[in-house]
Amino acid sequence: MSPGMGSATVHALVVVGVALAVAAGLRSTWSP
């Protein structure tokens, strides 16, 4: 795996992670 590919993976995980994070954070508003 080239260094560039590793960086792209991190970027992809950040995009996916941020989308999940926003959904999880807002959804948790309905926590007890």
Give min distance, CB of 3 to other proteins, in A.
10
> What would the two tokens of residue 9 be?
């993976």
> Is 14 an interacting residue with respect to other proteins (CB under 8 A)?
yes
CA 19 – CA 26 distance, rounded (Å): 11
Cα–Cα distance for residue pair 13/6, rounded to 1 Å:
11
Structure tokens of 7?
Answer: 């960086």
Indicate whether 4 belongs to the interface with other proteins (CB under 8 A): no
Q: Is 5 in the site for other proteins (CB under 8 A)?
A: yes
**Interface ranges with other proteins (CB under 8 A):** 1, 5-6, 8-10, 12-32
